[in-house]
Amino acid sequence: MTATPTATAKQQPMQPVPALQAALAAEHTAVYGYGIAGALLTGGDRAAALADWRTHEQARDTLEAMIVKLGATPVAASPAYALPFTVNDARSARRLAAALEDGVTQAYLGLVAVSDTTLRTFGALAMQPPANRAAEWRGSTVAFPGMGALVPHGGLPAPHSPWAPHIPPAWHAGQLIRAGGPR
Amino acid sequence: MLAASTTTLPLFLALSACAGPNPLAGPPPLSSDVRGLFDAVTDEQNLIWIYKRTMASYSAVAPALGALLAEHEAHLAQLRAMIVEPPGKTIPSTVTRKPAVPGTAATAVAQLRAAEQSATTAQLRRLARAAAPLAQLYASIAASEATHVSALTALAARSPGR
């Protein structure tokens, strides 16, 4: 699944807690997904999956602490998640790992839309490790990590301004893997 | 319509100040979003120039660099598409930094790696003042450039001239 522009340019700014919760949900998904992917991998790939799994556990704990600090209750992990495709061998496990990292990258991109500049920077920096891991698992880089596809255009030039930016809608985190039972 | 003269101009300006922008004051300053986009466009053009020169000088690394160059060209196209050009004007396409290509493939790739790292930092500096969707574009491009840093690190390790 790719990111979808679910709002218009006139929407309210992204709020910190929902954006953090979306990132936490993506980390929960990654922790679950690496459990499946790692079981199907061997050698260096298995070691990499284990390291990545631990990294996502740490990121999950960091996000939970941030959400608690803001006075909210962190979203809980689901008991199981529906995978986006059948995962039954090493090749599909590597593909799943890349998809998990894409989902996390996309979720952190949602944090970049909040107005708090500290959280923006946190989200932008947090995108880079999963984008790198996705490239490692995929074997290639992408032009717009976290965006899935090119940015939509939706803005209009401001009156009386010789140069104006197109302001597209903000991108929201979409869940790559839905909570629910495995397929 | 009022004719511009020493007697009518002050009245005209006073009325203009109440009614909207002053037509005699020249174009208004660029918004911070447009300035940020111009800077980002220039940075991408500079990176693309270095990639092309490096690829022309070292054919052995050109295939690997070609994929990264294509992503920078996608970044540039997307950044340019974010700017509304007024009639009769175009977005500047000037390359402002043209470093010499180093003497070995490995050092040339290392130069590209350093340029990618600088570009990532520059994108992050733009975040605070940008509209949210533009900040997201800068963040995504920064993440892309971070993956390029990793790819170039691996490429430098296996390039001639280490």
Q: Kindly state whether A7 is in contact with chain B, defined as any CB-CB distance less than 8 angstroms.
A: no
Asked whether the beta carbons of A83 and A95 are under 8 A apart, the reply is no
User: pLDDT tens digit string along B94-119?
Assistant: 899 999 999 999 999 999 999 999 99
Helix axes A90-111, A16-39, angle to 10 degrees: 170
Which amino acid belongs to residue B110? A
Query: What's the pLDDT tens digit per position in B40-80?
Result: 999 999 999 999 999 999 999 999 999 999 999 999 999 99
Asked if pLDDT for residue A157 goes beyond 90, the answer is no
How many Å apart are CA B129 and CA A10, to the nearest integer? 18
Q: Could you tell me the pLDDT band of residue A169, with boundaries at 50, 70 and 90?
A: low
Closest alpha carbon within chain B to A106? B140
Of residues B153 and A155, which shows the higher confidence score? Answer: B153
Of A84-93, A107-116, A171-180, B18-27, give the lowest mean pLDDT range.
Answer: A171-180
Q: Assign residue A13 a region (left: φ > 0; alpha: ψ between -120 and 50; beta: otherwise).
A: beta
- At residue A164, φ and ψ (nearest 5 deg) are -140, 150
pLDDT of residue A2: 37
How far A161 CA sits from the closest chain B CA (Å)? 6
Put simply, the answer to whether B124 touches A127 (Cβ < 8 Å) is no
What pLDDT shows up at residue B90? 82
Q: Which residue has the higher pLDDT, A84 or A181?
A: A84
Backbone φ, ψ for residue B96 (5° rounding) = -100, -15
Residue B141 has pLDDT above 60, yes or no: yes
| Mean pLDDT of the A14-27 span | 95
The whole-number pLDDT of residue A50 equals 97
The helix (H) or strand (E) run that includes residue B79 is helix B62-81
Q: Do A127 and B139 touch (CB under 8 A)?
A: yes
- Give the number of beta-carbon pairs within 8 Å between A and B: 154
Q: Of chain A residues 121-160, which have a CB less than 8 A from chain B? A: 121, 123-125, 127-128, 131-132, 135-136, 140-147, 150-151, 153, 155-158, 160
Neighbouring CB atoms inside 10 A of A113's CB total 26
Inter-chain residue contact A144 with B141, CB threshold 8 Å: yes
What chain A residue is nearest to B131 in terms of C-alpha separation?
Answer: A167
**Are A113 and B135 within 8 A, CB to CB?**
yes
For residue A125, list chain B residues with Cβ-Cβ distance below 8 A.
124
B87 has a chain A CB within 8 A of its CB: no
pLDDT in tens, A105-140: 999 999 999 999 999 999 999 999 999 999 999 999
> Of B122 and A167, which is predicted with more confidence?
B122
Token pair for B2? 């009022």
Chain B residue with minimal CA distance to A154?
A: B82
* Residue B41: predicted pLDDT: 95
Instruction: Give the pLDDT score at B63.
Output: 95
Contact check, Cβ <8 Å, A131/B151: no
Contacts of B80 (CB under 8 A, 6+ apart): B41, B91
Query: B109 in contact with A at a CB cutoff of 8 Å?
Result: no
CB contact under 8 A, B132 and A135: no
Chain A residue at shortest CA distance from B30 = A163
Cα of first residue to Cα of last residue in chain B, in angstroms, is: 74
- Binned at pLDDT 50, 70 and 90, residue A4 comes out as very low
* Paired strand residues for A114: A14
Class of the CATH-defined domain A16-150: mainly alpha
Q: How far is the C-alpha of B138 from the C-alpha of A83, rounded, in Å?
A: 30
Pick the more confident residue, B23 or B85.
B85
Domain ranges of chain A: 16-150
Question: If you measure CA to CA, which chain B residue comes closest to A144?
Answer: B140
pLDDT tier at B19 (50, 70, 90 boundaries)? Answer: low
pLDDT attached to residue A114: 95
Lowest mean pLDDT among A96-100, A132-136, B7-11: B7-11
The pLDDT of residue B10 is 45
A98 in contact with chain B, both atoms CB, cutoff 8 A: no
- pLDDT of B12 > 90? The answer is no
CB-based contact A165 B86, cutoff 8 Å: no
What pLDDT was estimated at residue A88?
96
Note whether A10 contacts B: Cβ–Cβ < 8 A: no
